[in-house]
Amino acid sequence: MVLLFLFFFAAIVISFICSILEAVLLSITPYYVGLKEMEKASFAPELSEFKADVDRPLAAILSLNTIANTMGAVGVGSQAAIVFGSTPLRIFGISFLSWEAAIAGAMTLCILVFSEVIPKTIGANNWEKLTPTAVRILSVLMVVLAPFVWLSQFITFRLKRKSADPVLTLADYRALTDLSRQHGVLEASEQHLIKKRYSISRLRNARAKSKPAQLSAVCLWPVPHEALR
């Protein structure tokens, strides 16, 4: 019985930590990384490295999470068979299902709630406070789980696109501007200025793609006729 609970809680705790690390890592913004680099924070180099290639720390997190869940399920299942055998679970004298099935269902529910929903909510809402600790934990995991990280990168190498898209497009900036205005972060004049800058950038891009025959020049000062030849 002791081993059953040990496997059960070990899987839940490790998966809980992995979910928090994943939520924190994916919530960190480029601005925060740049700010910590300017402040010369002790964890800034590792943080910048992790965000530059986020697939590597994610591979370490998911590898540990998978190992914990697999070992926990195997351990709990084997211990449940030893402790309870094939004895059916009876409620009010009625046999519903086996103890193994009941324990497996309870473990699945606990993993869903305590290892997914709760920790990811905590990590997403408190990522700034948890980032220093998360970076230190990830630094250790990257060393311990290096073979799994390498294997993951080897498998997914050919699945990646060769050309990386920009992190934020002009349309993204425009949407962020509208949201900032709705939430009172920007004034109306600031919103108008940013949108105007967006329109100018889009116009410049359109002109840059135009054919030479479609372009015209306007001279604002006298130029000798010989200079135009």
> Backbone phi, then psi, for 103, in 5-degree steps?
-70, -40
pLDDT digits (tens, 9 = 90+) for 52-63: 889 899 999 999
pLDDT digits (tens, 9 = 90+) for 111-148: 889 989 999 999 999 999 999 999 999 999 999 999 99
Residue with tokens 């939430």: 183
**Residue ranges of the alpha helices (H) in the chain?**
2-27, 30-38, 44-52, 55-84, 99-112, 118-125, 127-144, 146-156, 170-182, 188-208
Q: Are 70 and 13 in contact, with CB atoms under 8 Å apart?
A: no
* 64 confidence band (pLDDT: 50, 70, 90): very high
pLDDT-wise least confident of 89-103, 144-158, 185-199:
89-103
Q: Are 60 and 141 in contact, with CB atoms under 8 Å apart?
A: yes
Cβ partners under 8 Å of residue 158, min gap 6? none
Bridge partner residues of 90 (DSSP): 95
